[in-house]
Every structure is written in structure tokens, then in C-alpha cells.
Amino acid sequence: MREHILLLNLTRFGDMLQSQPLIQDLHDSGHTVSLVCLENFAPALALMRHVENFRILPGAKLLADTQSHWRNAAARLLALARDIRKKTRTGRVINLTPSLPARLLAKLLAPSPADVLGFGMDAEGFGINRGAWASFLSGASMRRVNTPFNVVDMFRRIGSAVCTPEITRRAGIFSLKTPSAAAFEATGVLLRQVERPADDMTARLRGYVGFQLGASEARRQWPVEYFADLGGRLWESAGLCPVILGAQTEKSLAGAYSARATSPFVNAVGRTDIPELAAVLGRMRLLVTNDTGTMHLAAGLGIPCLAFFLATAQPWDTAPCLPNCCCLEPALSCHPCAYGETCRHGHACLMSISPHAVETMILGHIRDGSWNEPAPAMRKQARIWLTAVDDRGFAALRSLSGHDAEDRSRWLVQQHLMWRQILDDLDGRKEPESGPETKNFLPGLSPAFREEVLPALTQAARMLALLTEQGMLAGQSVMAGQLFLRNCERLQQILDACRPLASLGNFWRELVRDRGGNMEETLRLTNLLASHLGRWEKAQK
């Protein structure tokens, strides 16, 4: 049935862009889509496809009012909700932002709490995740070290309940609009403003390469001096002129690059709006970037990327949704670090991948469009992944450096299959496919890793089976109910104590919180989880 869908994405620039494949799914399923986004990302709407209408949320003003005049903030939010309902024919709401303000806005916009998919709020004002995939994403946002799905796929699965099955089984289509002629004209003028031009600039110039220096945190930024070194190398070896990209807030990084540069470059930092940034990227042969919104913008425009994933960043969940992009992680046992942890290694990951090694990778790609097998020295510096799509239409990674044999990599691959089965089953969309119940669930993993995971997995499976039995008796006496709750906590402790099972622990926490008031639904989900984990436990024997 054709519906009008109101989509909320109120987080980062890159997350907003990564909702484009879901919008494409909704459009191809026959729905119309309106989008609510933050004011500072509104210029990007000119690049997004199939958005019939949009509304802009003045997040900064609302936050300021909340801190000083909360009544004004409440009145402003209610007025905004009324205006959106009136002008966008609000029906079903898909909220991709798990924050409390976004949940509240979704409740205000939807005809009823049941009309919200993703992150909602119940009738009493408590946060609730509608759909198992939403529960998983909410838990994964707390600790993404064990997240085996790209954000694009998680967004798509949250909205899949209103999409046709054929659409949800295909690979996500991430295609942004071509920037306007005016934007391209403005960037043409910008690219002629070369700093440190060479005497034979015109004769030697063979194209441009984008450099995105900044990231959401300093510890996720490849060093500026490395970018400057790489820029000089690419100019000397291939005639590629770097174009430094970034927002106004990153001007200090551009200054640091300029102080170290010994060859031509263009400084576009703070000199483009979002459509003009897209036009600049459209003129690049390649983007070299940290894990940023600029990376996702390039992917949506079909511009190949070489991206660094440092500190907490990892390509398993935020790699560009474009096949044949190159993702580099430090080949360090401590990477990726967990959110909130203090680095005990002096941020060694920032310095571990050398400009010379990156130059070698880029030159091969510039020459024939492929990424060459890395030299042994490069394998010691970085885990090298190429973006791809698996046979189920999900984003995937292919190793160029042999690091797919590591425990972490094998475990993420196994979790991808594990969670796909669990979440689709819990959402009532189980599809026939081979799975770990038909073979060893932990193939190729080291004995040490198996010894860490298997006991906790066994305890969790047995505890879930016990909870299913106890839950049936919970309503018969206070003691039975208390025992059920104590064992829910014991299961949480078992999962939290095993780092490789962090995603399962976070998911269980979200599941209990969301469904705790409905014992029948809780028992249904507990029984399904017990069934999955029980089969995996038996497969090890």
C-alpha cells in the first residue's frame, strides 16, 4: 500500500547522507518521502533524491532555549510539529536517531506511537525501539567494536517493514544528485587559486586529489604532516594537485598543512557550501580522507576513496557505501579502541600508516583503477580492506592484506551471519539461508579466542532457556517474578564480562528495556534467542 513516510535523521552529516539508500528503497516500493533534518545540514537536501518535501529543525536554537527558557523551547517544538504535520501529510514515521529529543519529536509527529518505526516513545513517555534492528543499532551505538553491519544496511533494515521484499534483498543504491552548474562554475574558479604553484604547473598537472584533513575527533585524524608529505609525493610522481577540504572550524588544519607543504595545492577549507563541496569532489580523481561526512558525500557521488579508520573508527560499520573503495586500519592489536577508553599507547595508531605506503596504493589505483596487492611492509602497517557487496545485498569488506584470518575479522564475519538470522527472525522476516546451525559456528578461530567465547556462549544459551521456563511462572507468584528478574541480570553480567559478546550484551539490555512490560512478547523473544544460541552451542560439540 502506498504511504507517505516522514523520515527523521537528526545526527551527523554523514548519517543523513547514509539514509539515501533507505529513501531509495521507500521510493522504489511506491512510497513518497519527506525528511526532517538539522538546520546546518539543510544545504545537502539539494543533493538528495526522491525527497518530496523537507522540514528543517533549528537544533541550535532549540538547545539554547532549553538551557535558558525551556518553556519557549517546548512551545517552539510543538509549533514545529504542528507545522510539519500540516505540510507533510504525516503518516508513518521512521526515526533513525535514538536520542530522547528525536524520539519525542517522532511521537509528536506520528498519528500514534505504533506508527513510529525505529526509535520511538511509548504512551507513557518512555523510549522504545520498534523493531529488532532498531534495538541492535541502539545497543551498537554504545559500543561499536563488535558491530558487523554498515550503518547504511542498519538504516535500510529498520525501514524494511514498509518496503517490498524484493527491494530489501538487493544491494543498497547510494546515488546523490549531480551538483548544479553554478556550483561547478564556482569550484572551477576555486581550483585555479593554487598555492605554491610550480613553474611548469600547466604542463605537469594531471588532475586533482581531495584531502579531507579533519575528523570528528583529533584522535581519528591521520597526521597533517603525513598529508603534506603525501601531497608532495603525489605531485612529484603523478602530477596530482591536492585540494584541501574541510569546514570553517578546520582552518587551523589547513594552516598546518600550508606550513609543511613543499608543492602546489588548493586550499578549499571553509570556502565551499555543501553543494559546492560536492562539485569539488566531482572534479577529483580520488578522495583521501578520514572517516567523515565528506567521505560519504564522495561515495554518493561515485568518487573513489582511500579512507583512514583510526582510534574508535572501523570500516565494518562506517565504510563508504561504494564498491572498490580502499579502507586502511592500523595493524595494531589494540585497534579499534572502545568509546570512552583512554589510549595507553600514545595514539600509536595515528602514526602507524606511512605516507610512502599510501602513495604506493594510490599510484596503482590511478594507473588502472584497481588496488594493488600491498607489499609486505605495508601489510605490517595496515589492515587493508576493499568495500564490496555480499550475495545478500549487504555491504562487505574484502581483505587485501591477509588480515581476514585474524580472530577479530573472522568473528565479525560470523557475527554478521549470526545477527542477520537473529534480527530477521525476531522481526518475523526469517529467510531461508544456510547458517551456523548447520556447521561449526566458530571456524578458523584460535583456541584462545574459542576458550574466551564458548563458555560465555554456553552459559548464555542455558540461561536463556531457563528464563523461558521461569517466565511462564513469573505471573504466578512474587518469588517467581523476582527470580526471573535476577536471572535477567545474571545473563547481562555474563554477556558484559565477555568482550567479544558485547553486541549481544547491549542487545539484551535494549530488548529487556523495550519489552519488559510485556511478558508475552519478552518470552517470545527470549525463546527465539535461546533457540539460536542453543543450536550454535551444539554445533561446537
- pLDDT band, very low/low/confident/very high, at 145 (cuts 50, 70, 90): low
- Is 425 within a domain? no
pTM to 2 decimal places: 0.93
- CATH code for the domain of 340: 3.40.50.2000
Domain boundary among 115, 142, 169: 169
Over residues 403-459, the pLDDT tens digits come to 999 999 999 998 898 889 889 888 887 665 544 444 566 678 899 998 998 899 889
Q: Verify that 233 and 88 share a domain, yes or no.
A: no
Q: Is 103 left (phi over 0), alpha (psi -120 to 50) or beta?
A: alpha
Which of 142, 169, 196 delimits the end of a domain? 169
Tell me the average pLDDT across 322-326. Answer: 97
Q: Are residues 271 and 345 in the same domain?
A: yes
Q: Which are the contacts of 280, defined by CB distance < 8 A and separation ≥ 6?
A: 187, 190, 191, 210, 243, 245, 268, 272
Boundary residue ending a domain (169, 192, 207): 169
Res 143 pLDDT > 90? no
In a domain, 379, yes or no: yes
Share of the chain above pLDDT 70, in %: 94
Reported confidence tier of residue 540, pLDDT bands at 50, 70, 90? low
Q: Is residue 414 part of a domain?
A: no
Higher pLDDT, 390 or 70: 390
Report the pLDDT value the prediction gives residue 509, as an integer from 0 to 100: 87
What pLDDT score does 436 carry?
45
Asked if the model's pLDDT at residue 90 lies above 80, the reply is: no
Per-residue pLDDT band for 469 (boundaries 50, 70, 90) equals confident
Q: Does residue 407 form part of some domain? A: no
Same domain, 221 and 361: yes
- Choose between 283 and 501: higher pLDDT: 283
Residues 230, 136 share a domain: no
Q: Whole-angstrom Cα distance, residue 540 to residue 538? A: 5
- The answer to whether residues 219 and 291 belong to one domain is yes
**Structure confidence by residue, pLDDT tens digits, 153-187:** 999 999 999 999 999 999 999 999 999 999 999 99
Give yes or no for residue 150 having a pLDDT over 90.
yes
Same domain assignment for residues 273 and 245: yes
pLDDT score for 339: 74
**90 phi/psi in degrees, rounded to 5:** -60, 125
Tell me the pLDDT tens digit for each residue of 365-383.
999 888 988 888 889 999 9
Mean pLDDT of 277-292: 97
Nine-digit cell string for 470: 521461569
> Are residues 347 and 270 located together in one domain of the fold?
yes
Domain match, 191 and 315 both = yes
The domain containing residue 344 runs over which residues?
Answer: 181-401
Identify whether 420 is part of a domain. Answer: no
Mean pLDDT of the chain: 89
5 beta partners: 33, 92
Task: Give the strands of the sheet with 265-267, arranged side by side.
Answer: 194-195, 265-267, 240-245, 207-212, 286-290, 305-308, 326-330, 382-389, 395-399
Give SS3 for 47: helix
In a domain, 12, yes or no: yes
Same domain, 114 and 207: no
Q: How far is CA 127 from the centre of its chain?
A: 22
Could you tell me if 258 and 383 lie in one domain? yes
What is the residue type of 501?
L
pLDDT at residue 517, as a whole number: 66
The answer as to whether 176 is a domain residue is: no
CA distance 92 to 81: 14
pLDDT at 438: 44
Answer whether residue 411 is part of any domain: no
> Per-residue DSSP letters for 199-215?
TTHHHH--EEEEEE---
Q: Which pLDDT score is estimated for 434?
A: 45
Our count of domains for the chain comes to 3
User: Do 193 and 160 share a structural domain?
Assistant: no
478 shares a domain with 452: yes
